[in-house]
Structure 1
Amino acid sequence: MTASDGCETHFVSPDPVLWDITRTNNLTHLYRAVNAMPSPLASQWKNLAFSALVLRLIMDNPRDGETAQSRLKQVGMISILYHMHIGQVPLTLTNIVEETGLTRTGVAETVDQLVQRKILTETLEKNMLGRGTARRFHIAPTLFERLKSDEIL
């Protein structure tokens, strides 16, 4: 099957195996092209690429003794954290608890798993009152580097 756009003829494969082989390369080129366009569509494609990357990193790499439920919880948590990051909300336990409605212990457990996977990095900072320390998290820069490279999936 072929499709013509006027000047060039492109092969469109109905075979899902061939699509799977070229999918990573196509997504990389699509991400780069969309990244050059400042628009709402570009933002949606970046979100989709980030979601696909973290989904594969978490679901395809189970840790010893980890349940499928735990991995799904991590996927959900990193999705929320990514949207908080986009909204420039500091990723602290208090802010995450407010955003999710989960208990502090539940948030800490899931976030700790993401830190162990190196999807998040953690720093200790003085809390707002100037006494004690607060844990602050950041999405690992390596994830954004992978999105810009050929390692999306």
Structure 2
Amino acid sequence: MASTLNTQLHSISFAAFILQEIMGNPREDETPQSRLKQVGMMSVLYIMHQGHQPLTISNLVEITKLTRMGVSEVIEPLIARGMLTETFVKNSMGRGKARQFAISEEIFEKLQSFQMR
């Protein structure tokens, strides 16, 4: 039972942290709508992360039903904020390159230190 409670607390902590980081620290070139999209995208990315799904543009397009450009427009500010890291991997056909993302380890470290208190 404690494991389920820890998982729920971690999810709530993640959501609250992301909301505060994005909405509480607006960047000069962002609109409120852009920040809200970033919060939503981080929620989707976190759920994918928890489900061990690759965080790729193709998977995000499939889940969100946004266009590739729509996904990229939301992802780019998250990379600029340092909330996501980006690497290039071989695409599913093994011939080209695909962008793969990861939630920054720094976020998880901050959450862990918060939960230890």
Task: Tell me whether the two structures share a fold, i.e. TM-score over 0.5.
Answer: yes
Equivalent of 1:93 in 31, 52, 57:
57
Report the counterpart of residue 104 of structure 2 in structure 1. Answer: 140
1:66-119 deviations in Å (ceiling 9; x for gaps): 100000000000001000000001000000111111111100110111111100
Report the count of equivalent residues: 115
Question: TM-score if structure 2 supplies the norm length?
Answer: 0.93
Identify unmatched segments of 5+ residues in structure 1.
Answer: 1-36
Alpha-carbon distance in 1 for matches of 2:91, 2:72: 17
1:3-32 deviations in Å (ceiling 9; x for gaps): xxxxxxxxxxxxxxxxxxxxxxxxxxxxxx
Q: Structure 2 vs 1, CA of residues 92 and 51 (structure 1 numbering), >3 Å: closer, same or farther?
A: same
Alpha-carbon distance in 1 for matches of 2:67, 2:83: 21
Identify unmatched segments of 5+ residues in structure 2.
Answer: none
Q: Would you tell me which structure has more helix in proportion to its own residues?
A: 2
User: What is the SS of the residue equivalent to 1:65?
Assistant: coil
Equivalent of 1:58 in 22, 36, 56:
22
Aligned: 1:74 with 2:51: no
User: What is the SS of the residue equivalent to 1:80?
Assistant: helix
User: What is the SS of the residue equivalent to 2:88?
Assistant: strand
Q: Which amino acid aligns with 1:104?
A: R
Which runs of 4 or more aligned residues in structure 1 lie more than 4 Å from their structure 2 counterparts after TM superposition?
none
Q: Which amino acid aligns with 1:149?
A: S
Q: Which amino acid aligns with 2:21?
A: L
Percent of aligned pairs with the same amino acid:
53
Give 1:42 deviation, angstroms. Answer: 1.7
Equivalent of 1:115 in 79, 89, 94:
79
Give 1:38 deviation, angstroms. Answer: 4.3
User: What is the SS of the residue equivalent to 1:39?
Assistant: helix
Q: Which has the larger radius of gyration?
A: 1
Question: TM-score if structure 1 supplies the norm length?
Answer: 0.72
